[in-house]
Chains A and B, each alone.
Chain A
Amino acid sequence: MSLQVEDLKIYYQTLRGDVKALDGVTFSIRDGEIMGLAGESGCGKTTLGYGLIHLTPPKKYMGGCVRLDGEELPIWDNDRMNPFRYKRVSIIPQYAMSAMNPTRKIGKMASELLSAKGVVFETILPELLRRLDLVDLSSDVLNMYPIELSGGMKQRMVMVLSTLLNPSLLVADEITSALDVSTQQAVAEMLVEFRDRDFVKSMVVVTHDISILYQIADSILVMYAGKLAEKASTGTIINSPRHPYTKLLISSLPKVGVRYAEQKLKGIPGNPPMLLNPPVGCRFRDRCPFAFKKCIEEPPFIEVEPGHFVACWKELD
């Protein structure tokens, strides 16, 4: 077991009270597994991703336990997390465009980054050049400013920098969202290649684009309003989802081959609930076409089949 998360709660502190963005989340990721994290905006995907790495106010740790390779991560203590960050856990942030320092040449920035972690730049330079070559970037980029690179190039550069010290866990937050289809495919396949080459042991890929996850992820975790809705292997989630939310989410995706004139797709009516005062019971209840009396109680996240977890009362009967 590479990463185990148990009952993790992270709230946002606001003047009107705590926003329960992540409310009791339990899952685990095996070594070498790429886990996709899917859901609408505002359902806690990014909070979970960042929570594992950099928990700063207004985010507030409210309980739970995170273990990486058997060792507990002190995610509530920013200073104690420092030795873990970048070496054991790392992140590719959402906006690669703004992730790099615009006033430094990329090579200089990399060397500063490494020296802050006690690594001498020269010793790692050959490996850096080898990896740049792997993602189709020439070594000239080290002498360039970030502004000279295109969006896709920046994204690949940030990928290389984030994984340079072979972290055990990598969180990739919406890294393909701002890219064109061709670049998107290249970046997504590079993630798989990084895993295959053991640059990173396991990965959490946060995205709202399920079709990308189908291409690269081993398992998919669907979140809704700060809770887990369903977790299973990629094929199971796409082909035989059990949670109503997952079903609706997948059926609302337009695909090549579906036309409005022939088959009208439907969205999910309604909006996710406000997490300042989340409703009791199943949080999807108001939008769920199958909701019944029992849904007023909170459904447990249980294993209905080996490796297939669902939080829905319908699946318990």
Chain B
Amino acid sequence: MLKIENISKIYHTGTFGGKELHAVSDVSFDIHEGEVVSLIGESGSGKSTIGRMILRLINKTSGKITVDGVDTSVISGSELKNYYRKVQGVFQDPFSSFNPIFKADRVFENVREGFFPEVNSAEWSQKIHLAVESVGLNPEQVLNKFPHQLSGGQLQRLLIARALLLDIQLLVADEIISMLDASTRIDVLNLLADLKSRGLSILFITHDLSLGYYISDKSVILYRGSIVEMGATEKIYNNPQHPYTKMLMCCVPRLDKKWEQVEIDLQGKQTEGTIGCLFYDRCPIARQERGCAGDRPPLIEIEPDHFVACSHCWENDKVGKPVEPRIQEKTQ
């Protein structure tokens, strides 16, 4: 239902906008109905930028985003309003999403003013009750309260309830779990999974790989604005091919396994506008003679529903033996 084709975003920075920052370059993927796609990457990898472009909070530089075949960048007025009936977002910090001087349920009132002016009060409050109950909250406990009287998990679920009032088809969930406690984050995560089984599509933006694995059908790994690996979640997690994905998997703190002693190259000269592989300067298997510094490696399908942007995995796959990346053992 959502189709993203070759979108890019260039921010102009510097005093007179003279410098260019390629936040997202040439990203394409799609989300089907009732599918959860997780967008994983470090800070600065452009994952939030993609979410914001889908929500039309910022304009894209090039490319095309279509929802149900309609190009989102050309719509305006009532069409745009209809678009927001279908697509909504929830963001990282629940405390700053609410206006602290108004009661928390004002967000529902705003929806009514904007989208349902014809609905009468009794009907509307019933609708709110239903939405609040469907996110696992008790309406009596959360309605008519100020944001500071509610917990982060409750506020985050109220924002999801607000999105549900609109009968949405796609939810852009931008790091909605990161600010929550371990005990409440799983409730919000289960809620998303429930909504998914009711047919809602979710774009789940996160930097936490274990959360991504828990609910998503498809994973997209971003590095500095480009997709490095993409495909079915099991395939990515059980058989990561790109050196960057492998490094990420090693770094996830786990309860059943201690970290392996791997050297992580944090310095990596963040050279702007490199033409070759973006991961070149941090990659343990990169070789100049193999052409890593030459051309940007294309996204190649190495097995059904598993794409990798690394010329090596591809080369090695062609000869039939994928090699482990050379991970430097700590010499101490």
Give the contact stretch, choosing among A26-34, A167-175, A261-269, A299-307.
Answer: A261-269
A182 x B186 contact (CB < 8 A): no
The reply on B258 being an interface residue by CB < 8 A is yes
The reply on B319 being an interface residue by CB < 8 A is no
Digitize A220-236: 1 where CB-to-B-CB distance is under 8 Å, 0 elsewhere: 00000000000000000
Shortest B311–chain A CB gap in Å is 22
The reply on B288 being an interface residue by CB < 8 A is no
Shortest B1–chain A CB gap in Å is 21
The reply on B122 being an interface residue by CB < 8 A is no
B264 x A186 contact (CB < 8 A): yes
Within 8 A of B (CB), among A239-277: 248-250, 252-260, 264-268, 271
Give the contact stretch, choosing among B12-20, B246-254, B296-304.
Answer: B246-254
Pick from A182, A212, A255: contact of B248, CB below 8 A.
Answer: A182
The verdict on A182 contacting B264 (CB below 8 Å), with A41-B181, A252-B183, A268-B183 known, is: yes
The reply on B59 being an interface residue by CB < 8 A is no
Contacts of A210 in B (CB 8 A): 182, 255
Complexed CA–CA distance, A151 and B264 (Å)? 16
Which of B43, B209, B249 has most A Cβ within 10 Å?
A: B43
Interface size class of B (residues with CB under 8 A): 35 or more
Digitize B160-188: 1 where CB-to-A-CB distance is under 8 Å, 0 elsewhere: 00000000000000000000011111110
Complexed CA–CA distance, A108 and B189 (Å)? 46
The verdict on A250 contacting B207 (CB below 8 Å), with A180-B43, A260-B215 known, is: no
A181 x B259 contact (CB < 8 A): no
Contacts of A254 in B (CB 8 A): 186, 189, 210-211, 213-214
Within 8 A of B (CB), among A187-223: 188-189, 208-212, 214-215
Contacts of B266 in A (CB 8 A): 136, 152, 182-183, 186
Complexed CA–CA distance, A166 and B211 (Å)? 38
Complexed CA–CA distance, A259 and B210 (Å)? 9
Closest B residue to A151 by beta carbon equals: B43
Complexed CA–CA distance, A266 and B248 (Å)? 26
- Beyond the given A212-B253, A259-B215, could you list 14 further A-B residue pairs with CB under 8 A, ordered by the A residue number? A40-B183, A41-B181, A182-B247, A182-B248, A182-B251, A211-B253, A211-B254, A253-B186, A255-B254, A256-B210, A256-B254, A260-B189, A260-B193, A264-B193
Question: What 7 A-B pairs come out closest when comparing CB atoms?
Answer: A211-B253, A268-B183, A267-B187, A180-B42, A260-B193, A267-B186, A185-B251
21 CB < 8 A contacts A-B: A151-B43, A181-B42, A181-B207, A182-B251, A184-B251, A185-B250, A185-B251, A185-B253, A188-B253, A189-B259, A209-B253, A210-B182, A214-B253, A214-B254, A215-B259, A248-B183, A250-B255, A258-B213, A259-B215, A260-B190, A266-B190
